[in-house]
A = this chain, B = another copy of it.
Amino acid sequence: MSERIYNFSAGPGVLPEPVLKQAQKDLWNLGGSGIGVLEHSHRGKAIDKVWAEAEADCREVGSIPDTHKVLWLTGGASQQFWQIPMNFLRKGETADYINTGVWATKAIQDAKLFGTVHLAATSEDRNFCYIPKQDAIKHSASPRYVHYTSNNTIFGTEWKSEPRVPAGAPLIGDNSSDIYSKPIDFSRYALMYAGAQKNLGAAGVTLVVARKDFLETGARDLPPLLQYRTFANEDNRPNTPPVFAVYLVGQVLKWIKSEGGVAAMAERNQAKARLIYDYLDASSLFRPFADKDSRSLMNITFRTPNEDTNAKFIKEAAAAGLDGLKAHRSTGGMRASIYNAFPIDGCRALVQFMEKFEKANR
């Protein structure tokens, strides 16, 4: 096996190496069946087992209550931006959105095609470098639902806990970039969605965890495959599902379990992020982008005072085996994405490299 490097990509991101090794085997021959995981009928016994285990592990790792369904959908988290209002927001109804960045903005744009959007809070005034305080969130009279983004991949901000919503208002979360990086209380959510390609697996599947009674309030005049209940009622296989993507999530969940579950992930992720933030706080060259109380443990955004130095840093880091550190153009500078599968040694290597770079460029 040839050498692998430190991959700070914001997503698709690094996967656990034991998962990759298992996938290599199963690609050729799944569980001694003589057929690879890509080639099995999605309704055969081998995939029945993959399916049942992925859901059971998803529930166990996330402590998902029986009130909630586990769905595997496609089209990325971005599909949820329109599928949610298409199902749950009618003309004349109002949904509350909290705008904390690029993805929340896109969700708002799509929702406006279906009903009324009330902007309950936004951090756009300071280029989304912070999470709004609870008392800055102003809800509409009776929102159909409240939508928020738990972690903002691009800006490197993260909610420390879910926003409080008016009594009875369904909470919907786009938790794509911090799902299962820490414990999550699913009972607070009417619907939670997450693209798999950061903490859960590879691009190609979106996990939706939703309360059954909320799903039943959705539109019934849509094509069956656009209604969430169809997937809930047909074991996520009303059509040919993205088998391999679900299989991979299952393997990642087994890895999370073997590493001690989401509590262990949270502890590890705190330690990893602390290494980098501590260095940034002490540095006289680098400065973090996000406000201290809003910092993401998943995506650490930072920069030097000028773009030339940023570009030099990114280039030299890549040459040193630290890949994917260029930030989104919305912030400029650098971003280190350190999802569950990213090793703490990679964080140490980044800090060492920053130290060296700072000495050479002060």
Identify the A interface with B (CB < 8 A). Answer: 1-5, 7, 9-15, 20-21, 23-24, 27-29, 32-36, 38-42, 44, 74-79, 81-82, 110, 113, 195, 197, 201-205, 221-226, 238-245, 248, 321, 323-324
Number of copies: 2
If the complex has contacts A32-B2, A321-B34, are A203 and B242 also in contact, measured as CB distance less than 8 A? yes
- A81 and B29 form a contact (CB under 8 A): no
Is the CB–CB distance between A39 and B27 below 8 Å?
no
> Do the beta carbons of A41 and B242 come within 8 Å of each other?
no
Contact of B1 with A20 in the complex, beta carbons under 8 Å: no
Contact B244 A203 (CB under 8 A): yes
Chain B residues contacting A21 (CB-CB under 8 Å) are 28
| A75 CB contacts on chain B under 8 angstroms | 74-75, 225, 239
Besides A34-B321, A74-B242, 12 new A-B residue pairs in contact (Cβ under 8 A), listed by A number: A2-B32, A4-B28, A9-B44, A12-B42, A14-B39, A15-B36, A20-B27, A20-B38, A21-B28, A23-B27, A34-B323, A203-B244
Closest to A34 in B: B5
Q: B residues within 8 A CB of A33?
A: 5
Closest 5 CB pairs of A and B: A5-B34, A204-B242, A82-B223, A78-B239, A38-B202
CB neighbours (8 Å) of A32 from chain B are 2
Contacts of A204 in B (CB 8 A): 74, 204-205, 242-245
Q: How far is the CB of A133 from chain B (nearest CB, A)?
A: 31
CA gap between A323 and B45 in the complex, in Å: 12
Q: Is the CB of A240 within 8 A of B34?
A: no
Contact, CB under 8 Å: A225 / B79:
yes
Question: Which residue of the partner chain, among B10, B38, B203, contacts A241 with CB atoms under 8 Å?
Answer: B203
Asked whether, in the complex, the Cβ of B324 is within 8 Å of the Cβ of A41, the reply is yes
Q: Given A24-B24, A204-B245, A240-B197, do A221 and B113 touch, yes or no (CB 8 Å)?
A: yes
- B223→A39 contact, CB < 8 A: no
| Inter-subunit contact A223/B35 (CB<8 Å) | no
